[in-house]
Amino acid sequence: GASGWGNSFYSAAVQAGTKSWKAMFYGSFDASNFVTVDKSPAFLWPMEISARIFGLSSWSILVPQALEGVATVGLVYAAVRRWFTPGAALLAGAVLALTPVAALMFRFNNPDAMLVLLLTAGAYAMERAVEKGRTTWLLLAFSLVGFGFLAKMLQALLVVPAFALVYLVAAPPPFWRRVRQLVLGGGVMIASAGWWIAIVQLTPASARPYIGGSQNNSLLNLIFGYNGFGRLTGNETGSVGGGGQGGTGMWGATGLARLFNADFGGQISWLLPAALVLLVGVVVATARLPRTNRTRAGIVLWGGWLVVTGLAISLGKGIIHPYYTVALGPPIGAVIGIGGGLLWRRRALLVSRVFLAAAVAVTGWWSYTLLQRTPTWQPWLHLPVLVISLIGAIAILCWPDVKGRSAFAVAAVVLAGTLAGPGAYTLATASTPHSGSIPSAGPAGFSTGRGPGGGGGGFGRGQAGGQPPQGLGAGGGAAGGPPGFANGTAGGGTTGNGTFAGPGGAGGTGGVGGLLNGSTPSAELVAALEADAGSYTWVAATVGANQAAGYQLSTGDAVMAIGGFNGTDPTPTLAQFEAYVAAHQIHWFIAGGGGTGPGGAGGTSSSSSAITTWVTSHFTAQTVGGVTLYDLSSPTTTSSMS
């Protein structure tokens, strides 16, 4: 519960789901069902069920995420243990549990915990299918992937090539039966995601909320555009970057080295070099074995997941945040468990010792390199990690017949050297509160990267962040939590001129939120918003969902997020907004939402801008608790409160 509302955008959606079954089904941001979140809603459902049972709180929202993480580690262990040794399975689970970005996302309410759990469960089911060619397990594996689509859309499908390849290569049935089974599995995958898509698409727009993140109120536009191929091509109309960029400047340099750079490295890459080395080593060791060999099947399954997902994240030109790399945690753990266990058992062979020693040595060097990016954090740890790893690598390479207690000692040295770095970062991550839209793993108060979500900060992080790109405000400072939680120093910036307001903790400006941080209204402002709230469909309206989230969570009443998450969705139109006001459905308009950075970065939609202009032209501004309000029920209001 230390992270408060975490990502207040999704916490507000959970709140809406506790008040309205319709909001829960569609993933609406508000209980009055004006607009959905910019994702499919399955990841919200466990949190909403928990909050319905235990009441809405940080604890009821974040505990399901932690349980999903525990289950994921357990499934990685179970999957590796099924085909390999207990030691390999324990190593695989430990690697995942000690991955910094996993510790981050399994304690945070973004969609990724549910996504990774479902994909890991799918991989376990695929192993069961490969064993005897059972159609039932195959269909279960693909149905889990399909349900994963409902958690985070197209990212779930990145495992499909590995799933299909391992079954086609290693399952025992005849070739054409395997092909038919895979076709059937594909159909089941489509059905397991398509039922919800079909319902949403076939429901008249007037009977459901606007599809947040789309530019035409179409779920298909969201699936294939903003949340789909746009992530790879950079052509994301309506996104934070304004769409149509097709370049790499907005979200950092792309390329094969991306996972190791300042933004991504400390999140996931500690054991990634070792996984790649061991992946090659196992492929070499199993090259001449029968088609159905389980060791090779395991490395095809988990290694394929690792390679395809890693390439997509590395080469994607659209919005790719460092925390997306949590999807690499299970395959990295499994590959290291499988590869390390196999090569250790075959250490009498020189080629096995070379690959194993190389994996240990490169891990020690890379851990030292990552730790040096935060040179003043635990400096006593940096050199020992390198030295111990090198000692372990030399022992493996030069001691082929090590046995008994000596073998145990070598293994202990190797594990100490390779897991100390990520383990320390993981403990630091777990002990640090996080909030905002782009959390980042690592020790509090240290920035290991630059730009959005970089290393130890970036905007949306509850620690000091890096320098954002032009047109985006800094997220530095400790992000303010919801009422009842300790607030830190707000990030700097103002709204409306290319930067975004800080989260409004101590030292903030009136609790105004921004594009990537929620608002934290004062008690005076909450009281004003709640006055006569029962007479309105929406107690207030403001541009952008993060701006709206803090007000909605604080009041418990629906707040209209004009323009959806980014403020760039073309909803409502000015005419629609005027109609809502005329019908006395909205009480207040809260100024200060969204942002209009250069080149459209963080920019609002034309309808959002038109609505803001119309409100400021026809209603009188008031100041309540440091926030500018307009009473939409009284066009001639002249009073002022402070």
- Write out pLDDT tens, residues 368-424: 999 999 999 999 999 999 999 999 999 999 988 888 899 899 999 999 999 999 999
Lowest mean pLDDT among 67-81, 353-367, 452-466, 572-586: 452-466
User: What is the rounded distance in angstroms from the CA atom of residue 245 to the CA atom of residue 286?
Assistant: 44
Concatenating the DSSP letter of every residue in 46-109 gives HHHHHHHHH-SSHHHHHHHHHHHHHHHHHHHHHHHHHHS-HHHHHHHHHHHHT-HHHHHHTTS-
pLDDT for position 440: 92
**pLDDT tens sequence across 113-151:** 999 999 999 999 999 999 999 999 999 999 999 999 999
- Per-residue pLDDT, 38: 92
Residue 71 has pLDDT above 50, yes or no: yes
More confidently predicted of 507 and 116: 116
The 10s digit of each residue's pLDDT in 433-469 is 999 889 999 997 664 443 333 333 333 333 333 333 3
High-pLDDT (> 90) share of the chain, %: 73
HSE, side-chain direction, 13 A CA sphere, residue 241: 24
Tell whether the model's pLDDT for residue 307 goes beyond 90.
Answer: yes
Determine the pLDDT at residue 309. Answer: 97
| 628 touches 592 (CB < 8 A) | yes
pLDDT bucket at 352, cuts 50 / 70 / 90: very high
**Whether the predicted pLDDT of 240 surpasses 60:** no
Determine phi and psi for 351, rounding to 5 degrees: -65, -35
Q: What is the pTM of this model?
A: 0.87
Largest CA distance in the chain: 89
Rounded CA separation 378/374 (Å):
8
